[in-house]
A and B are shown apart, each in its own frame.
Chain A
């Protein structure tokens, strides 16, 4: 699992959660909320989909680490790798 692959997973989840948004040209280093119409409920949905689809837990104190695609990749890639190694 590379950081790029991790970003693609997150983008795919966002596309389902925010189906009216264009996610084809997201900037990796800009906050997702500054690029998309996302609210706190949507981030709860992202957390839920990571849990459902990949068995990855994001504790509440780490929600801020999902702010941008870059920060998502940095935070989530080790978790994906951990899952893959199990």
Chain B
């Protein structure tokens, strides 16, 4: 961006120009959206080490679409998810990738955790050799460094700009996008590939820990196991997945005649400073209000609130308190949730759930919550979309919540781009 001063970029409008994703119920935005509108869940039963059968959201994209088998052998599942999503995001954006200055591309991916899968696998491996560490693979370190998924993207796509992951528990998907926005405004990069990824279903530890916490979902029908806001909800369904957005400054996107999915109108990140696990509606509400203020929007201007709710009894209640406080008088604000369909995609959740709602700007539909057979009275909110999609609604503003352990809250507001 020669000749353009930092001062002029710092207030740049930032837009989403491409979407690449893999979710348990879809490997493209079109497929994912279709299943959200048709009520198709993507949760199944899998066998996991030491734990036996658990419910999980499993992605079924073809990793060989963009990677060689050797890269799959050496790399990680999170890296593979990230590569698939990033390649799809660039392809979808219509960028002239060959002509693109790769020094000016940044990769910013949110992760809830990284390295557990690879460490567990390696401990299992050496357990076959009486725990002799001579059998520990030399691939362990590059697989488990925290930047791994983003780094694998740069190797695969020959990107020479900055890359790193943003560890932000389950608020990470939004945090990746926020990082992209900030780096674009600072002029650090011209194109950002940003969002979140998760490989968490491949670590038994996350299932075991949620089970020990009394927060792992169980149901005889896996498709009904993830049921945020339902009276009979009993915990989280862990999922893998990824969603990467191509993000640019508006002037750059317009200069190349790009399709614009949305403008990032506002965002906020804050902390509860309170508990390792328990959510806190006071700081969640503060985060929502801060994002609205930054977007210069009154709550009544929000058309869709996509909730974080994961189907833990307390977590859902806390978020509902926060949202009732902000949106109680907003007759035109509708509230939905995506985890009933796909479970909790951890570091990918925020980005995936935002992506699943972006088509509302064009199709005028709001996807419902799934599996709410008996609404918990403590989760009652005005305009909670249940059962079937709401149709015929002009959607201009989407507010996306994502919260995580250690009391991290993130809110991102996407606005219809109107010129």
Q: CB distance B69 to A52 under 8 Å?
A: no
Q: A41-B74, A52-B129 are in contact. Are A19 and B135 (CB under 8 A)?
A: no
Which residues on the B side are within 8 Å of A18 (C-beta)?
70
Q: Mark A38-57, 1 if CB is under 8 A from B, else 0.
A: 00010011001001100000
Q: Chain B interface mostly helix, strand, loop or mixed? A: helix
Q: CB distance B135 to A41 under 8 Å?
A: no
Whether A20 is near chain B, meaning CB under 8 Å from some CB there, is yes
Select the residue from B70, B134, B135, B139 with max chain A CB neighbours within 10 A: B70
Give the complex CA separation of A18 and B129 in angstroms.
24
Give the complex CA separation of A45 and B134 in angstroms.
12
Whether B137 is near chain A, meaning CB under 8 Å from some CB there, is yes
Q: CB distance A20 to B137 under 8 Å?
A: no
Whether B158 is near chain A, meaning CB under 8 Å from some CB there, is no
Q: Mark B111-136, 1 if CB is under 8 A from A, else 0.
A: 00000000000000000010000110
Whether B274 is near chain A, meaning CB under 8 Å from some CB there, is no
A19, A48, A52: the one within 8 Å of B70 (CB): A19
Q: CB distance A20 to B138 under 8 Å?
A: no
Q: CB distance A51 to B69 under 8 Å?
A: no
Q: A19-B73, A41-B74 are in contact. Are A48 and B135 (CB under 8 A)?
A: yes
Which residues on the A side are within 8 Å of B73 (C-beta)?
17, 19
Q: CB distance B138 to A44 under 8 Å?
A: yes
Q: A19-B73, A41-B74 are in contact. Are A51 and B68 (CB under 8 A)?
A: no
Which residues on the B side are within 8 Å of A44 (C-beta)?
138
Give the complex CA separation of A12 and B216 in angstroms.
42
A17, A37, A41, A51: the one within 8 Å of B134 (CB): A51
Q: A19-B73, A41-B74 are in contact. Are A52 and B135 (CB under 8 A)?
A: yes
Q: How many residues of B contact A (CB 8 A)?
A: 11
Give the complex CA separation of A39 and B19 in angstroms.
34
Q: CB distance A51 to B135 under 8 Å?
A: yes
Q: CB distance A41 to B138 under 8 Å?
A: yes
Nearest CB on B from A3, distance (A): 27
Which residues on the A side are within 8 Å of B74 (C-beta)?
41
Which residues on the A side are within 8 Å of B138 (C-beta)?
41, 44-45, 48
Interface residues of B in 169-218 (CB under 8 A from A): none
Give the complex CA separation of A80 and B74 in angstroms.
28
Q: Mark B156-178, 1 if CB is under 8 A from A, else 0.
A: 00000000000000000000000
Give the complex CA separation of A51 and B135 in angstroms.
8
Nearest CB on A from B132, distance (A): 10
The residue on A at minimum CB distance from B134 is: A51
Which residues on the A side are within 8 Å of B129 (C-beta)?
52
The residue on B at minimum CB distance from A37 is: B70
Q: CB distance B70 to A20 under 8 Å?
A: yes
Which residues on the B side are within 8 Å of A52 (C-beta)?
129, 135
Interface residues of B in 37-87 (CB under 8 A from A): 68-70, 73-74
Give the complex CA separation of A81 and B367 in angstroms.
67
The residue on B at minimum CB distance from A41 is: B138
Which residues on the A side are within 8 Å of B68 (C-beta)?
20
Which residues on the B side are within 8 Å of A37 (C-beta)?
70
The residue on A at minimum CB distance from B68 is: A20
Give the complex CA separation of A44 and B140 in angstroms.
13
The residue on A at minimum CB distance from B67 is: A20
Which residues on the A side are within 8 Å of B70 (C-beta)?
17-20, 37
Give the complex CA separation of A48 and B73 in angstroms.
15
The residue on A at minimum CB distance from B125 is: A52
Interface residues of A in 1-49 (CB under 8 A from B): 17-20, 37, 41, 44-45, 48
The residue on A at minimum CB distance from B132 is: A51
Give the complex CA separation of A41 and B141 in angstroms.
13
Nearest CB on A from B334, distance (A): 49
Q: A45-B138, A48-B138, A51-B135 are in contact. List 11 more A-B contacts (CB 8 A).
A: A17-B73, A18-B70, A19-B73, A20-B68, A20-B69, A20-B70, A41-B138, A41-B139, A48-B135, A48-B137, A52-B135
A-B contact pairs, 8 of them (CB 8 A): A19-B70, A20-B69, A37-B70, A41-B74, A41-B139, A44-B138, A45-B138, A48-B135
Q: What 9 A-B pairs are tightest by C-beta distance, nearest first?
A: A19-B69, A20-B68, A44-B138, A20-B69, A20-B70, A18-B70, A19-B70, A52-B135, A19-B73
